């Protein structure tokens, strides 16, 4: 607690003592001056005050409006050159979060936990692991993160931090960033991070000249993604993976491009099949090719969905739902309205859910318009609306066949939708095949079925790591990826070139809390 009579709204409260050499408490965020009584803090003495033991700890916070328990391990430590602790390694460059005062709480290499943890035992263990990482005690950080991975093999954040601690202990790591939507879509973030972690572990096990270190970045900073991008370009990061297709992502990608940092995202990455399961991963200029790549993918997704509608529901009359607050949803809706008639389907109703809607009323209106199929061209943020429509559809006789885009693919739809989403068909860039060697390896590593996001993140990390290892610096890494990097690709035929189908069905391989899973679908 502050002893100088002042208030610090960002501080997280009292906690057990912990040794600290910096100007700020690495856990609660209080500056050193706050630990001095008011009469001493305001003293006119010019000589520095003696070092005191600064109290540290972790506050458990109930995140307003999010419905789950979260915690923040540390706030910014602004010391640029912390002294080495006795017996501790300081291998590697300065931690990225130590170089910024703006978004430190949203960036971690292992010194803070970004993804909420509901298990009290793992919460305490993660606190210990992160504190050890923060002070450069790699042996202890490795031991603690190893224990966490053993307790929860499906936790990609702990696995990445374990890999990072080993990389720091080995010395001179090369560093990339993975920017994921932890705040708004933690399950999606985990799917991406599983692919990153799996290739990072594989790469580092090959005894490279420089091990790979991954900085995890929560893109949901209140300062915005461009502020995060500016923090990353002012660090030792050599390349970036992540972001989406929205306007904010485009702005962040422009920041990287102007700074000469390679960034692999759906708007900047082209995947070209080379034969024998090899693909070439190539980054393209955002301004010149970004929209073209997205359009190519959306064209293929719309074509796949329209063909599925025509085969599953002959002479289909479609109720098309979308959300106008998403450029992705708007684009897909436009392409679907153009391509569905080419397959003999008629769009009898278009409904924008961004303006607010009642699912029961919407489904009744669809029936009144003689619809016999529903296509959901939603963005990722509209899973709840998709579930509400599916539940409303369940009460109608007979229920209409539902179709949807890749943005609905994920555990939330299966868990929240339960039996209401049974039979829903989605077009996604990649689907799990139980006979695929990579899918088997990944399922064993993560104790469960993986998604296309995991696979594409694995491929993207592979391409970025190989370019970083060969290039050695930002400029060379960017140049190599502009030319194209060949990898042993796991994304079937390239993410933008083929959009297969999956269908929700009962099964044991779905996420925890659901009796449903996504199965590959062919022949319709």
Average pLDDT over residues 157-162: 98
In the predicted structure, residue 351 carries a pLDDT above the cut 50 = yes
Instruction: With respect to residue 389, please indicate whether it lies within any of the assigned structural domains.
Output: yes
Quote the pLDDT of residue 275.
Answer: 73
Instruction: With respect to residue 390, please indicate whether it lies within any of the assigned structural domains.
Output: yes
Quote the pLDDT of residue 279.
Answer: 78
Instruction: With respect to residue 439, please indicate whether it lies within any of the assigned structural domains.
Output: yes
Q: Are residues 307 and 351 in the same domain?
A: yes
Rounded to whole angstroms, the Cα distance separating 272 from 373 reads 34
Q: Are residues 444 and 427 in the same domain?
A: no
- DSSP H or E stretch at residue 193: helix 186-205
In the predicted structure, residue 20 carries a pLDDT above the cut 50 = no
Instruction: With respect to residue 391, please indicate whether it lies within any of the assigned structural domains.
Output: yes
Q: Are residues 408 and 452 in the same domain?
A: no
Instruction: With respect to residue 74, please indicate whether it lies within any of the assigned structural domains.
Output: no
Of residues 387 and 118, more confidently modeled: 387
Q: Are 238 and 478 in contact (CB under 8 A)?
A: no
In the chain, pLDDT over 90 holds for what percent of residues? 50
Quote the pLDDT of residue 150.
Answer: 94
Per-residue pLDDT of 404-421, as tens digits, reads 998 898 888 999 999 999
In the predicted structure, residue 373 carries a pLDDT above the cut 50 = yes
Q: Are residues 405 and 471 in the same domain?
A: no
- Domain count for the chain, please give it: 3
In this predicted structure, which of 15-29, 197-211, 228-242, 365-379 has the lowest mean pLDDT? 15-29
Q: Are residues 439 and 425 in the same domain?
A: no
In this predicted structure, which of 92-101, 280-289, 357-366, 378-387 has the lowest mean pLDDT? 280-289
All residues at 6 or more sequence positions from 377 whose CB lies less than 8 Å from its CB, including other chains: 320, 321, 322, 329, 332, 333, 336, 404, 405
Distance of CA 246 to the CA centre of its chain: 14
In the predicted structure, residue 340 carries a pLDDT above the cut 60 = yes
Q: Are residues 307 and 423 in the same domain?
A: yes
In this predicted structure, which of 46-55, 219-228, 282-291, 416-425 has the lowest mean pLDDT? 46-55
pTM above 0.85, yes or no: no
Q: Which residues sit opposite 520 in a β-bridge?
A: 502
Quote the pLDDT of residue 72.
Answer: 27
In the predicted structure, residue 93 carries a pLDDT above the cut 90 = no
Instruction: With respect to residue 71, please indicate whether it lies within any of the assigned structural domains.
Output: no
What DSSP state is assigned to residue 283? E
Rounded to whole angstroms, the Cα distance separating 357 from 339 reads 26
* Domain finish residue from 10, 34, 59: 59
Quote the pLDDT of residue 385.
Answer: 96
Q: Are residues 516 and 502 in the same domain?
A: yes
Q: Give the chain's mean pLDDT.
A: 79
In the predicted structure, residue 402 carries a pLDDT above the cut 90 = yes
Rounded to whole angstroms, the Cα distance separating 71 from 60 reads 5
In the predicted structure, residue 32 carries a pLDDT above the cut 90 = no
Q: Which two tokens stand for residue 414?
A: 């299966």
Contacts 24+ apart (CB under 8 A), 48-51: none
Q: Are residues 374 and 473 in the same domain?
A: no
Average pLDDT over residues 41-47: 37
Q: Are 370 and 341 in contact (CB under 8 A)?
A: no
Of residues 455 and 448, more confidently modeled: 455
Rounded to whole angstroms, the Cα distance separating 476 from 467 reads 8
Per-residue pLDDT of 474-489, as tens digits, reads 999 999 999 989 887 6
Instruction: With respect to residue 121, please indicate whether it lies within any of the assigned structural domains.
Output: no
> Which residue range(s) make up the domain with 322?
295-432+498-521
> H helices within 71-185, ranges in order?
120-134, 138-151, 156-170
Per-residue pLDDT of 251-267, as tens digits, reads 899 999 999 999 998 77
């Amino acid at each position: 607690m502050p002893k100088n009579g002042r208030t610090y709204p960002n501080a997280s409260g009292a906690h057990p003592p912990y040794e600290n050499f910096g100007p700020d408490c690495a856990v609660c965020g209080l500056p050193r001056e706050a630990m001095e009584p008011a009469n001493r803090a305001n003293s006119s003495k010019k000589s520095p005050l003696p070092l005191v033991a600064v109290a540290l700890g972790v506050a458990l916070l109930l995140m307003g409006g999010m419905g789950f328990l979260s915690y923040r391990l540390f706030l910014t430590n602004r010391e640029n050159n912390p002294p080495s602790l006795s017996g501790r390694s300081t291998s590697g460059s300065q931690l990225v979060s130590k170089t910024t005062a703006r978004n430190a709480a949203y960036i971690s290499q292992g010194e803070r936990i970004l993804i909420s943890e509901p298990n009290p035992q793992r919460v305490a263990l993660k606190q210990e692991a992160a504190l050890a990482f923060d002070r450069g005690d790699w042996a202890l950080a490795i031991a603690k993160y190893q224990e966490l991975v053993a307790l929860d093999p499906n936790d990609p954040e702990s696995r990445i931090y374990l890999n990072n601690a080993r990389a720091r202990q080995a010395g001179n790591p090369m560093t990339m960033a993975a920017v994921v939507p932890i705040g708004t879509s933690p399950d999606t973030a985990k799917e991406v991070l599983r692919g990153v972690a799996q290739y990072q572990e594989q790469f580092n096990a090959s005894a490279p000249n420089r091990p790979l270190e991954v900085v995890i970045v929560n893109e949901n900073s209140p300062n915005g993604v461009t502020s995060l991008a500016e923090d990353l370009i002012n660090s030792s990061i050599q390349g970036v993976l992540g972001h989406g297709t929205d306007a904010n992502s485009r702005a962040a990608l422009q920041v990287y491009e102007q700074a000469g940092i390679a960034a692999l995202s759906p708007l900047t990455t082209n995947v070209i099949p080379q034969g024998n399961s090899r693909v070439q991963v190539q980054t393209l200029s955002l301004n010149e090719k970004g929209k073209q790549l997205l359009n190519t993918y959306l064209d293929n997704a719309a074509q796949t969905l329209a063909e599925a509608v025509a085969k599953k529901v002959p002479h289909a009359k479609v109720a098309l739902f979308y959300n106008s607050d998403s450029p992705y949803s708007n684009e897909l809706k436009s392409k679907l309205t153009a391509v569905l008639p080419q397959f003999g389907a008629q769009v009898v109703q278009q409904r924008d859910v961004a303006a607010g809607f009642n699912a029961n009323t919407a489904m009744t209106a669809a029936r009144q318009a003689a619809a016999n199929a529903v296509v959901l061209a939603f963005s990722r943020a509209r899973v709840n609306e998709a579930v509400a429509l599916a539940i409303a559809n369940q009460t109608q006789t007979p229920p209409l066949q539902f179709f949807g885009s890749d943005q609905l693919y994920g555990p939330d739809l299966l868990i929240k939708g339960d039996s209401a989403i049974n039979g829903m068909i989605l077009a996604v860039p990649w689907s799990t095949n139980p006979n695929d060697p990579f899918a088997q390896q990944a399922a064993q590593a993560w104790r469960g079925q993986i998604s296309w996001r995991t696979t594409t993140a694995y491929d993207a990390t592979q391409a970025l790591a190989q370019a970083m290892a060969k290039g050695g610096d930002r400029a060379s890494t960017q140049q190599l990826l502009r030319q194209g990097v060949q990898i042993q690709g796991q994304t079937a035929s390239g993410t933008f070139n083929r959009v297969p189908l999956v269908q929700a069905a009962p099964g044991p391989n779905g996420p925890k809390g659901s009796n449903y899973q996504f199965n590959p679908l062919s022949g319709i």
